[in-house]
Amino acid sequence: MTGRRTRARAAAATAVMTGCALLLAGCGIKRTGVIESGHAAAVKVPGGKNAAVLYFVSKDGDRLVPVPFSIGADYTLAPTPLLRLLLNGPIGPASAAGLTTALPKVPDAKTDTVTVSKNSQDKGLTANVPFAVADLSPMALNQLVCTVGASAVPDTRSPVAVHGTDTTLPAADCRTSQR
Amino acid sequence: MRRIAPLGLRTRLIAAFLLVAAISAGTTAALTYQQARNAILKQTQDTAVSTLRDQIEQQEFRLPLEQQELQRIVIELGKRGKPHPWIVFGEYAGTRVSTNPGTPTSTVITDSLRDKVRNNQYAVFQRVEDQRGNPWLTIGVPAVFEHNGYPEPTGVVFYASVPLSTEKQTVEAMVEAAQQGAVPGLAIAIVPALLAARSVLRPVRDMRRAAQKLGRGRLDTRIEVRGADELAGLARTFNETARALEQSVHELQEAEVRARRFASDVSHELRTPLAGMLAVTEVLDEDAARLDSDTAKALRLVSAETGKLAVLVEDLMEISRFDARAAELNLDDVDIAEAVRKTLERRHWDDDRVVTELPDAVRARLDPRRFDVVLANLVGNALRHGGAPVRVTVRTAPGEDGERLLIDVADSGPGIAPEVLPHIFDRFFKADAARTRSAGSGLGLAITLENVRLHGGTLRAGNLPGGGALFTLDMPLEARV
């Protein structure tokens, strides 16, 4: 009898304490985790819609930054000149903004060997470059894949294989971020 | 360990009411508060995020973005903070700027927010606290542009930190309002608690009083039954019980009255023929000497038994009077020593069989006839069942309400057996089971006790340490009617 009553009192006390704790815990403005809230801001970039985009490495070296390159609203740049432009490295405003390239410099004599060819088996492309590609950093490889894959064929993103002096790397998709 | 004293019904009822009121008020306030707070915060967050996104979308970007251009856009965005003024930070390709030229980075924007917003294409927010504990809303919105039909990240990310001090004040004001509302609510809850306690306590109090009256012998006590609840049912049961009790007590009393009246009537009816028989046997007794010896013997036996019968009838009538409460005290001022001496003299006990120890000049107010009966019964009983010498000691002692008269009657016999002692004053109780016919009527000590009680005294029976029975009479020196 006494035990039951004691237990009932203990249960009631626990309930009251829990209630008080809940009430106190609910007060004030609590910190939160990172919460998603809608889409990103879509901005207008002059000529960005049709322009070819070159990808260079940001100042921190941890990601690729797109640089639109336009020669006029009515013209589109073919993949091969685009790849040659990329291999020339950042110039003008891109260089001024602190962008760099992870790709090796191609001497002018070998510029002709830089081409982009359509793959025969699938819809992919192959970038031909006059240097060894097996030891290229992931960032450099992505510069090639993203620049060629995003701009070569309108309204599609193509996987791109890289053919160097030593080997041919299998087709890959563009990843601008290293993470 | 001492247990806590149990609380009264009223206290417990009020406490329970207050507890219920506090719980319901607290729960309601807490739920309302949480909803309101979440709504306020949600509105602030949504407004801030969508404002920042809209503002960014109105800007024109020339990629790659130079630092001056980024600084210009950030300052432009910084002017348009909604719902509160905000601090805007911009980040592009390793360059960081803010609306405060001195501090390009924020102290409240966390690394996890930066990682999330830089690696994904959606806006995010996070609520944080600075070192002083003030709440901040931090927002990150990446800028994308459409390229070849796909949203392409420009690499530009804008952050804004919005102080939530206004929201904090609003939320604190709500807590304060809830607290201030709860106190009068609890005070109001006391009123129904008191009413409820009253409605329970009043019948309980009535019932306790009724039970006390019933205990004092007022068997006609009843409780007024109000309403139809459990307490009314209890009152009804109480009334039924009291009625049943009254009825059975009444029946018992009637039966007892009938029995007593029967004994009284019988003794009255016996008295008249006995008087005649006594007169005849006395005459015959005188002539017995002239009759032959057998007849004379028989005649004397009849005469003696008739005398005993007459004594028995007188005793029965006396005890009937006591039972009917018809016995009365005829008080008189008496010299105790004189009264005792007269009683002994009248019974011819003034030889050395009875030793007295009498104080001089002690006057008592009592009924002389009844006192005579008491003393004669006690001394006679001592002589008959105990043995000579019988010692009679009279003394006085101070008592609670005046002087007491104490009379000890001790005999020199074997004393009273312990198993007999509790029944010594019972009617027709024979101490010696083998001796069915004793000299007395069997009512002597019962009548003695009734007489002493009538005087407001007590009579105790016991044994002396050295053997012999001791009767102690204890009654007020001044008896009252």
Q: The complex's ipTM?
A: 0.80
CA max distance for chain B: 173
Q: CATH top-level class for B231-323?
A: mainly alpha
Task: Spell out the domain ranges in chain A.
Answer: 72-172
Angle at A54 between CA A50 and CA A57, to 5 degrees: 145
Angstrom distances, CA of residue A59 to CA of A95, A99, B65, B141, B154: 10, 6, 13, 20, 14
> Could you give the residue ranges of the DSSP H alpha helices within B96-164?
111-119
For residue A66, say if its preceding peptide bond is cis, omega within 30 degrees of 0: no
Q: In chain A, whose CA is at the least distance from the CA of B58?
A: A43
Most A-contacting residue of B63, B69, B122 (CB-CB within 10 A), to test interface: B63
Q: Does A26 contact B30 at a Cβ distance shorter than 8 Å?
A: yes
Q: Does B60 contact A46 at a Cβ distance shorter than 8 Å?
A: yes
Distance CA B320, CA B366 (A): 22
Between A and B, how many residue pairs show a Cβ–Cβ distance under 8 A?
A: 180
Write out the DSSP string of B161-202. Answer: EEE-HHHHHHHHHHHHHHHHHHHHHHHHHHHHHHHHHHHHHH
Q: Does B123 contact A40 at a Cβ distance shorter than 8 Å?
A: yes
B444-454 and B368-385 helices, crossing angle to 10°: 150
Q: Does A157 contact B150 at a Cβ distance shorter than 8 Å?
A: yes
Q: Under a CB-based contact definition with an 8 Å cutoff, are residues B142 and B148 in contact? A: no
Give the distance from residue B48's alpha carbon to the nearest chain A alpha carbon, in angstroms: 11
For A72-98, write each residue's pLDDT tens digit.
666 677 788 888 888 888 888 788 778
DSSP state of B290: G
Distance CA B382, CA B412 (A): 8
Q: CATH top-level class for B9-171?
A: alpha beta
Q: What is the mean pLDDT of each run of 10 residues along chain B (481 residues)?
A: 64 87 84 89 93 90 82 90 88 85 83 88 91 91 83 88 91 85 83 87 88 89 86 91 93 90 86 89 84 86 88 86 84 90 89 86 90 91 84 89 90 86 83 54 86 91 88 88 72
Q: Does A35 contact B37 at a Cβ distance shorter than 8 Å?
A: no
pTM for this structure? 0.59
Q: In the block, which residue shows the tokens 């685009």?
A: A82
| Residue B467: per-residue pLDDT | 83
Contacts of A69 (CB under 8 A, 6+ apart): A51, A52, A53, A54, A77, A82, A85
Q: Which of B33, B128, B144 sits opposite A40 (nearest CB)?
A: B144
Q: What residues in chain A have per-residue pLDDT under 70? A: 1-5, 16-17, 19-26, 47-50, 70-75, 119-123, 152-155, 176-179
Task: Spell out the domain ranges in chain B.
Answer: 9-171, 231-323, 332-476
Quickly name the fold that domain B332-476 has. Heat Shock Protein 90 (3.30.565)
Q: Does B145 contact A43 at a Cβ distance shorter than 8 Å?
A: yes
Q: Under a CB-based contact definition with an 8 Å cutoff, are residues B9 and B17 in contact? A: no
